[in-house]
Amino acid sequence: MEHKKDEQEQQLTFSVEGMTCASCVRIVERQLKKIEGISYVSVNLATEKALIISQQPIDEGFIREKISETGYTYREDAPTEDLLLKRFAAAKHNLILALSATVPIMILMIGHMAGIMIPGFHYLELISGAFVLALPGRSVVRGAYIAVTHRHTNMDTLVTIGAVVAWLTVPLLLFGMPIASFGALSSMLITFHLAGRYIESRLKYRASTDIRALLSAQSSSANLIISTEGAAPEVRQVSIDTVKKDALVLIRTGERIPLDGEVVEGTGFVDASMVTGEPVPAAAAAGDQMIGGTVLVQGSLTIRVTHTGEDTFLSRMIKLVEQAQSSQVPIQALADQVTKVFIPIVFSIAILTALLWGLFYQQLLPYLSAMAEILPWISLEGGAFSTALSVAISILVIACPCALGLATPMALVAGSGAAAKRGMIIKDGEAIQLAKDIDIILLDKTGTITEGKPSLTYTNLTDAQLAALAAIEAYSIHPLAASIREYAEGRSLRIPEVTKPEEISGVGVSGIVDGRTYHAGRPEHIDAKMEQYMSQGATVIEVTIDQVPAGFAAISDPVKEDSHRAIRQLIDAGIRPVMVTGDQQKTADAAAALVGITEVHASLHPEQKLDIVRSYQKKGHVVAMVGDGINDAASLKAADVGIALGTGSDLSIDSAGIIIVSGALSKLYETIMLSKKTFRTIRQNLFWAFVYNLIALPVAAAALLHPAMAEIAMTFSSINVILNSMRIRSFDPTASAGKHNDTEGERS
């Protein structure tokens, strides 16, 4: 299962350069797991990203040293777009260079196999193979050398051994040994390998465009408003690195909002689709919170900066996506176990099969002759040694576990990127695997099903009592508190000082005002007037003074426009929605009826929400919890899948496995469907990667594959995994809304 980080642990995300296959990943992970204090390690081959969690302070220098010992390179940041493009250019150059030597020798080889005598053909094979190994293929040879000198093997090792052995057949033949020449195969193996590497890198680059799009949404400059005494304010364009919290920034029509902030002046319409996935621009006015990276499509705004640097919402979301792409899905453990022993087994099979062909060649010759009549690439000229050598090379090449190593990482990259594009952040791989089995989804009410923008609609408190209530509510982070303060400020009430303020989650807030103890929380003394408002869906807050009831405030919080549709989609998908809220029963029932929820648990403390999560889990249900407040944090963490709304508290976001940036409840269905699609793709990738090797190895061992064909098949297998993963990016999770059924999720 996925490791869940607790508050005492430290984590570090970085990049590892030079890895080429699942074996490389395993070597790096094994080396890092040896470090004392490290409790979790995950390395993603597709993104080159690594994530470690440690119970002790992390020494980056020591981590760098340990990775260097494996032969690979530690980098603090992920490869930049410029670096990726440079790699593509180098890969393209090497491929063209290799093709320039390989294509002519392939043409000559076909003629030679057809019986055309070409003078000096074997010398041309020798030169061509040496050229390709030494120049365009030197990165492959270097990768193999690094692996061998660090006492492990990887994909480059298998290809290089196959190419070198094939090349050595030429000088052996020239020195008089009775052996078939595989010299042309040497350059062909390296060239096909370089072609596959180039195609893979291009496809990986395309698959990660969604996360790069998020990165591109980050502005590099801001229009800073500078005010000096006795002079008019001046607007100066500066780097966002120099902008501090509380600074004023001007945004004009068409400009990107550089940092998170609150609108203090102006109006406009903001396109937040890049961050939230919502296509329709939203109105913005004074008091509204703005997310950095969104675009002002109309109007002019002045915002006061609230977050800078890595604390901005977009920076945090990008970091979470990158961590998700570095995480593991539990099903990957099976692939890891296979790759752990795969290459040593392949070497053993290659050697054993070659020995068997060498020893029993005469007995197998009738079979081989029959196959040669069907398959033109099978040659009988070389005898036992040549056949044994050809079989060994084919096994070494075709058994490269490239597809197996890419099966999960590529699907994670595509799935998490597609989710981010739609305004959904999947923080860890375990959430993807578990989301497909969700059958109970618990939903908080305030800020989840409702707008979370409540307003005070009635109170029987005196102005002095209301002012005292507003004073103690200033120390509360509950969404309802702000509405009380805004109401009091709107009536221009003088807000008194508070001593000994205290908020108990799920109970209420209290404090001493003018020597008297005020407490605001759920009603204990319900009268007819309270019941009237509660039956209308309003939340009633009772105020006591020195433990004596003084009155109440009724606060209305409208249901989100998409809540009813979201609940309908979940029910149609076979998922049972349940409301869990701290609100009064009548208030909760009224809101539940509006959206179509029939099962309601109300008047709950945070620990009671947690008990409900666990009670469903004990009955065998896979439980998702959706919330946005600090009182939901424990339940979010305990649920099989915690889903937080990006409009909620930082603690709820940190406690969840999935974040819906916009807070739109209709994104729940999209999140679950996209998670199902991603996991289904992982299973497909793993299945075909396993099947490929199960079929390919016996075929190669039976001497039915030419080594060049083995290299092509291996490359095609990897490309097939990547292309299948990229299908996630075009998947529309809303297409099946309303017609979903349980069997649909199992279809490919």
| Residues carrying an active site annotation | 444
Do 252 and 266 form a contact (C-beta atoms < 8 A)? no
**Which amino acid appears at position 401 of this protein?**
P
Place of tokens 């190669």: 700
Among 167, 161, 152, 178, which Cα is nearest to 351's? 161
Q: What b-and-e string marks burial along 451-475, b requiring 16 or more CB atoms within 10 Å of the CB?
A: bbebebeebebeeebbbbbbbbbbe
Among 74, 81, 32, which Cα is nearest to 53's? 32
Do 245 and 306 form a contact (C-beta atoms < 8 A)? yes
Compute the distance between CA of residue 508 and CA of residue 466 in angstroms, rounded to an integer: 16
Residue 711 has which token pair? 């290299």
Among 503, 579, 484, 569, which Cα is nearest to 537's? 579
Compute the distance between CA of residue 694 and CA of residue 737 in angstroms, rounded to an integer: 38
Do 730 and 415 form a contact (C-beta atoms < 8 A)? no
Instruction: Rounding to the nearest 10 degrees, give the CA dihedral for residues 254, 260, 263, 264.
Output: -120
Residue 297 has which token pair? 């499509």
Count other Cβ atoms within 10 Å, centred on residue 93: 12
Tell me whether strands 221-226 and 234-239 are parallel, antiparallel or unpaired. Answer: antiparallel
Count other Cβ atoms within 10 Å, centred on residue 353: 21
What does 602-653 look like in DSSP terms, one character per residue?
A: -S--HHHHHHHHHHHHHTT--EEEEE-SGGGHHHHHHSSEEEEETTS-HHHH
Residue 674 has which token pair? 């996209």
